Chain A
Amino acid sequence: MQIAIEEMGGGVTRVILDGRLDIEGAAAVDLKMNVIGGSSQLLLVDLQKVTFLGSMGLRSLVVPAQAVRRHGGKVVVFGPVPMVEEVLKAANIDTLIPIHHELSSALAALQ
């Protein structure tokens, strides 16, 4: 599981996840995700390259998203593949982190 962070301008932090967010993948990114959640105000979680998402992976998304919301920020998910999106929706995570498939609409939702 790979994680990359990019500052996009306008105060938006883009975190790009690449790989499988299974138990092993979640363990690999949890600490960084929690740090990002604690320090970002506008967070775009790019899931385009995430090929699997389990409940431990959901935790890696929910904990930082709730941290961002607690300090008044916003979080969106960008570009999940259909099965990953199905997991997000089955777990009601889309009510916490809106899902966008266009980068422009994801960025607009953060403004």
Chain B
Amino acid sequence: MPDVTQKAEAHLSLKSRLAELTQVRPWVDRLAAEHSIPEATVFAINLCLEEALSNVIRHGYKCETHHSLTVHFSATANGDLIFTIEDNAPVFNACEFTESPAPASPDEIKPGGQGIHLMRKFAGSLRWEPLPHGNRLTLGFNYGAQGGEPR
């Protein structure tokens, strides 16, 4: 059995403004340094957090700036990295969101709307739970600290 003893935790609180997302990368960089997370995994984490958090701010909170959201981080000794995002936005299950079919031609590629698609591609796991007044989205990554596969 892998050792899944909890190794560390951290927490980030944000206001519902896109400008607040500038706090995410330095926070992830600190975690990456503390946990020796490989560059490709750091890239995937930053990508998924930016997509998830900006979706909540733009679509969940409709860019109203008086809300808040939190990101909780935990790591285990076997390299599992878990980021849990909680908000108070209307219920939205990102895991069941139906993506548009692949474009038939390059000119039909939509400039936006790729966020959930990218999260599904770059996160190792994605889980959604409803909260009494919001949503909890859990993004999992694994960088194989004890010999596992990345992401």
Interface residues of A (CB under 8 A from B): 20, 22-24, 52-56, 58-59, 62-63, 66, 69-70, 82-83, 87, 90-93, 95-97
- For chain B, the bracket of interface size reads 20 to 34
Taking a contact as CB atoms under 8 Å apart, the answer to whether B46 and A91 are in contact is no
Which residues from A are CB-within-8-Å of B103?
92, 95
Residues 88-104 of B at the A interface (beta carbon under 8 Å) = 102-103
Main SS at interface, chain B: helix
- The proximity string for B residues 22-44 relative to A, scoring 1 for CB distances below 8 Å and 0 otherwise, is 10010000000000000110011
Task: Enumerate chain B residues within 8 angstroms of A58, measured Cβ to Cβ.
Answer: 111, 114
What chain B residues lie within 8 Å of A54 (beta carbons)?
Answer: 47, 50-51, 118
Interface flag for B106 (CB, 8 Å) = yes
Residues on B lying within 8 angstroms of A by beta carbon are: 18, 21-22, 25, 39-40, 43-44, 46-47, 50-51, 54, 102-103, 106-107, 109-115, 117-118, 121-122
Q: Is the CB of A69 within 8 A of B107?
A: yes
Indicate whether A52 sits within 8 Å of B46 (C-beta atoms), given known contacts A90-B117, A92-B102, A93-B109.
yes
Query: Do B114 and A91 touch across chains, with their CB atoms under 8 A apart?
Result: yes
| CA of A69 to CA of B113, assembled, Å | 21
**Residues of A close to B122: CB separation below 8 A:** 87, 90
CA–CA, A73 and B118, complex, Å: 28
Given A54-B50, A96-B106, is A87 in contact with B118 using a C-beta cutoff of 8 Å?
A: yes
Known: A24-B22, A91-B117. 10 other contacts (CB 8 A): A24-B21, A52-B43, A55-B51, A56-B54, A58-B114, A69-B106, A90-B121, A95-B106, A95-B109, A96-B107
* 30 A-B interface contacts by CB (under 8 A): A20-B25, A22-B50, A23-B21, A23-B50, A23-B54, A24-B21, A52-B43, A54-B50, A54-B51, A55-B114, A55-B115, A56-B54, A59-B111, A59-B112, A63-B111, A66-B107, A66-B111, A82-B40, A83-B39, A83-B40, A83-B43, A83-B44, A87-B122, A90-B117, A90-B122, A91-B114, A91-B118, A92-B103, A96-B107, A96-B109
Q: Which residues of B contact A87 (CB under 8 A)?
A: 47, 118, 122
